[in-house]
Structures are given as C-alpha cells and as structure tokens.
C-alpha cells in the first residue's frame, strides 16, 4: 500500500528492515530499497516506524517524512495499532486462546530476550494474546495479537511456553527442535494484518498480506500428515 505519507510493505524473509548498528552499508536492507524508490521524489525519505525480524515475513510500515514517522510512532508507543501475526509452533497449544504476559529484558551481550528479574530496571512488559486456528499431529497454527512490540517477542513468548516456532533456532528453551519434523529454514512467523489510524485523515487503515509460499507449503505438509477425520 502506498500513501503520500507512508508505505506499507510486504517484506520477504531474509531481508533486514534497516542496517544493524555499526554495519551500515554491509548489505541491502528494506530501507535501502525504499530510499532508492523515493530518490526521485523531492521531500520524501524512508523512515522506519516499526520493525520485524530478518527471517520474519510480512507487513512493515515505513513513513516518508520525519513528521509522519513521529505521528505513526506515537500510535505504536500508545499500543493502539492492530498487529496480527500467523505462527506455526511445535506441539499442541492449549487452551484454544489466552494471554501471554512476561517481563523480559534484552541481553546486550548475547543479543536475545531473557526473563527479567522482578527488580531489573531494564525489564519491560511483553503482552500478547493468541488464538488457535488449526491443529496438526505435531504442530499448531496460531494467530498472535501483539499488545506490546518488543524485539523477538513472539519468538520468546512461544518458546518459553514450550511451543517454539517451527524453524526456530534461538528461543527453544531446551525443546528438542534440532532435526524436528517438518524441517523449515526460518522461524515460521508472518506479520499478516496491520491496522492504524491515518494521522492526516483520522480514518482507520487496515492492510493484509497473504501467507508467503514457504509457510503455505509448510501448512500443506502438516495437513497431509494429519490422520483422516472419522
């Protein structure tokens, strides 16, 4: 989706949203691609509003001015945008829906989220809710609605509950995922619906991105492995 003040882009897996600190220019990022697209439009620049992980696919919001970025970021800071993700996780998730609430802190040395001590000053609340969409013999398709938007949040919160994402390499918390079936080259996570208020018009904006081919194929494989209904 393109608007004079922002772009909503469907990012493929494997692409960074913006350069990692100290690694500017080392590889092409989503911001580089958008900046290249906007270079012939005076006054428009690429300014990231929110991020998703390199190997997560789906919707990313990029403002095209500093003023629009500030207005949109304000909504995310107030936790008002709708952010829905689709994830395939290991195991059978019970019950059918519920909240995920954790206190986490970013480990600056290991570059991962971890559980925060109750008195940890840098600790932050991570809140989300999930809903089971489909169950398979060895995995579950869930929809996750983010309230907060912490780095690696869904990956951490699913893993710490004993249901790491299929393809997850970091947030497994001792679960036996090495060589687990079915194999998948990335975490099975897709940002599929994004909703927010247009800062200029006050009207709601909702954008959806269909599942990418690799996750469609993964779900198809899991369905084929399911026993026939009786």
β partners of residue 7: 2, 62
Say if residues 146 and 83 touch (Cβ distance below 8 Å).
Answer: yes
Long-range contacts of 209-212 (CB under 8 A, 24+ apart): 209/10, 209/57, 209/58, 209/59, 211/86, 212/12, 212/13, 212/57
Q: Quick one: which of 121, 129, 81 has its CA closest to 102?
A: 129
Q: Is 53 a catalytic residue?
A: yes
Burial profile 45-60: b = 16 or more Cβ within 10 angstroms, e = fewer: bbbbbbbbbbbbbbbb
The active-site residue, picked from 32, 36, 53, 125, is: 53
* Three state DSSP letters for 97-163: EEEEEEEEEEECCCCEEEECCCCCCCCEEEEEEEEEEEECCCEEEEEEEECCCCCCHHHHHHHHCCC
Q: Which residues are tagged catalytic? A: 53
């Amino acid at each position: 989706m393109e608007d004079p003040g922002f772009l909503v882009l469907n990012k493929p897996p494997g692409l960074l949203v913006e350069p990692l600190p100290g690694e500017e220019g080392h590889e092409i990022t989503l911001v580089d691609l958008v900046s290249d697209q906007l270079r012939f439009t005076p006054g428009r620049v690429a300014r990231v509003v929110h991020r998703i992980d390199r190997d997560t696919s789906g919707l990313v919001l990029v403002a095209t001015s500093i003023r629009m970025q500030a207005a949109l970021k304000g909504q995310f800071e107030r936790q008002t945008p709708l952010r829905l993700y689709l994830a395939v996780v290991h195991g059978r998730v019970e019950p059918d829906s519920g909240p995920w609430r954790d206190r986490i802190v970013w480990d600056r040395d290991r570059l991962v989220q971890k559980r925060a001590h109750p008195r940890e000053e840098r600790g932050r609340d991570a809140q989300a809710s999930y809903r089971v969409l489909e169950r398979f013999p060895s995995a579950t398709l869930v929809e996750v609605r983010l309230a907060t938007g912490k780095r690696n949040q869904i990956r951490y919160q699913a893993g710490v509950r004993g249901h790491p994402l299929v393809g997850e390499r970091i947030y497994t918390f001792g679960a036996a995922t090495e060589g687990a079936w079915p194999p998948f080259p990335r975490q099975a996570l897709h940002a599929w619906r994004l909703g927010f208020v247009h800062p200029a018009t006050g009207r709601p904006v909702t954008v959806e991105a269909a599942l990418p081919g690799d996750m469609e194929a993964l779900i198809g494989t899991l369905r084929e492995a399911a026993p026939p209904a009786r």
